[in-house]
Amino acid sequence: MRLFANIIGEVRGLEYAPIKFEVSEDLAYWSAEIQGKVIAKAEALTGPMTPPGKRVQTINALGSEVRPGTVTTWGTAVSDEVDAPEVRFQ
């Protein structure tokens, strides 16, 4: 917690809450929610060169945050909202 506090400057409290995380089997969307606090949703990118039913993906991307041999699916946020004490954005 101390290292985390150094990043954000001041810790104003701590709460425990269940986190709901969902990823569709076909990677078309993914989401995370902390009820009443955080909602984040994203949809996978598609494009004119992407085969039907497939997603824009990078396999073994150089310098990627994922480990070698894994697939990165690219997406865009469709919902991004936080409602916590003294913090609110959409």
Residue 21, both tokens: 């995380």
Q: What is the pLDDT of residue 66?
A: 62
Residue with tokens 């060169």: 49
Q: What is the pLDDT of residue 88?
A: 56
Under-50 pLDDT residues of the chain: 90
Q: What is the pLDDT of residue 65?
A: 64
Handedness of CA 78, 20, 55, 52 (dihedral sign): negative
Q: What is the pLDDT of residue 54?
A: 78
pTM over cut 0.85: no
Mean pLDDT of the chain: 77
Q: What is the pLDDT of residue 87?
A: 62
Q: What is the pLDDT of residue 74?
A: 75
